[in-house]
DNA sequence: TTAAATCTTGACAAAAGAGTCAGGTATACC
DNA sequence: GGTATACCTGACTCTTTTGTCAAGATTTAA
């Protein structure tokens, strides 16, 4: 532990450190889902509309929606009057499910045979540190928190104004922590 | 919030969701730093040694150490008897500092003018949602937690056996949460 | 039956990230 | 001085990710 331990978040963040990536597919795909969530219950939304509202090309939106459709989160209707719609209520779709269906691979570390440890094996077939790794606890801790949080938030939770949504998060973040401690 | 809210972590993680990336540079660079940390106080460590211990090519290790040297985390000595060493005590180098110096760009969201919002602007110059974004709270919440955690852990904290290190993390994770709630 | 609107698909091009290579510079030791 | 060891650097290649394109299939409606 370092002497900085007592510095409040705002100070720590002010340093501008930037770490851990969200891919374009995850970000833009989630935004498309939010458009569909806001449209839930109405006529299907056409890709041109989403494209305009998100500042993305129609073709790209199409590609993202295809990924989401294949994950059964979205349904499509062809032809005139066609378009896209969520395949179920936005309350029952977590952002974890959305992000996962959009990410090729990513961070998740729970054990030595996890994707992360297999992926970063250097020139060898197996990571040198499989049997004991000083760094794994870093990613394990972050993974737990991240997936815990993402599984607790639904698309419906993101549909309000930003201030309200932020409130939801503060509440859920506390719940997640409480949950973690029980285990 | 979804009905899954009460499911313990292990169940949530078992689904195998994989989200948010750690780049190769971050992972391997951090490992090199850990090698240097374990060698702290002794003769400088040559890149060949690190290369062998990590299963990476010498050239690649060299490249990573160059990034770390430019961030003033590492010092190098040329010539016979040369090598690399931490530029200061492993207790005073946080993994946040390490990761940051290794990452080209990544997730950090604290406001509308953050890197994240500038980066994901689609075809336009500015993100459509700058004035109010339902998704930003997701990344803001994760960013806070991640950078909070990374700034509280030092290289020295990672030098022990994996089980011990995991213990440190459980302790620090709780502290971070407590800290967040004060604000 | 034809036209218009819209989704479907796979191939492709552009950009970013990962990792290698070759030629150069500094230091220690004989 | 000469030689061996080791760092320094930028250019280059390979792979993955991002985003576009073109040709096809389905549905509605006139």
If we measure between CA atoms, which residue out of A151, A156, A149 comes closest to residue A33? A156
Mutation site, B19, B29, B99, B135, interface A, largest A CB count within 10 A:
B19
N-term to C-term CA, chain B: 24
Class of domain A21-104: mainly alpha
Query: Residue B50, class by beta-carbon neighbours within 10 Å (0-12 exposed, 13-18 middle, 19+ buried)?
Result: buried
- pLDDT, one tens digit per residue, over A138-180 is 998 988 888 889 999 999 999 999 999 999 888 776 766 655 5
Of A91, A138, A142, the CB nearest to B2: A91
Which residue, chain included where needed, has tokens 């991640």?
B146
Query: Distance, in angstroms, between A43 CA and closest chain B CA?
Result: 22
pLDDT of A1 reads 43
Tell which strand D nucleotides have any atom below 7 Å from a protein Cβ. 4-11, 16-22, 25-29
For residue range B144-183, list pLDDT tens digits in order: 888 889 999 999 999 999 999 999 888 776 766 655 554 4
Instruction: Specify the pTM.
Output: 0.86
Pick B96's closest partner by Cβ from A17, A159, A160.
Answer: A17
| Residue A16 in this model has a pLDDT that exceeds 90 | no
What pLDDT is attached to residue A172?
73
Q: Which residue is nearest to nucleotide D5 (CA to C1')?
A: B80
Domain ranges across chain A: 21-104
Strands A83-86, B74-77: pairing kind: unpaired
Asked whether the beta carbons of residue A94 and residue B31 sit closer than 8 angstroms, the reply is: no
Question: Domain B22-104 - what CATH class?
Answer: mainly alpha
Q: Return the closest-CA partner of residue B145 out of A78, A167, A133, A169.
A: A169
Dump pLDDT digits (tens) for A35-63.
Answer: 999 999 999 999 999 999 999 999 999 99
Cβ distance of B135 and A172 shorter than 8 Å: no
A127 pLDDT higher than 80: yes
């Amino acid at each position: 532990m370092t002497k900085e331990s007592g510095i409040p978040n705002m100070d720590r963040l002010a340093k501008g450190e930037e770490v851990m990536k969200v891919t374009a597919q995850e970000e833009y795909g989630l935004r498309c889902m939010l458009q569909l969530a806001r449209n839930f219950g109405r006529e299907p939304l056409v890709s041109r509309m989403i494209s305009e509202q998100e500042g993305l090309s129609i073709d790209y939106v199409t590609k993202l929606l295809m990924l989401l459709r294949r994950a059964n989160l979205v349904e499509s209707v062809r032809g005139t009057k066609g378009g896209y719609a969520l395949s179920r209520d936005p309350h029952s779709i977590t952002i974890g499910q959305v992000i996962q269906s959009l990410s090729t691979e990513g961070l998740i570390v729970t054990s030595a045979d996890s994707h992360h440890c297999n992926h970063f094996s250097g020139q060898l077939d197996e990571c040198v540190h499989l049997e004991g790794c000083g760094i794994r606890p870093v990613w394990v801790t972050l993974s737990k928190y991240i997936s815990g949080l993402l599984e607790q938030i639904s698309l419906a939770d993101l549909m309000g104004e930003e201030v309200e949504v932020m409130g939801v998060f503060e509440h859920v973040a506390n719940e997640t922590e409480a949950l973690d401690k029980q285990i």
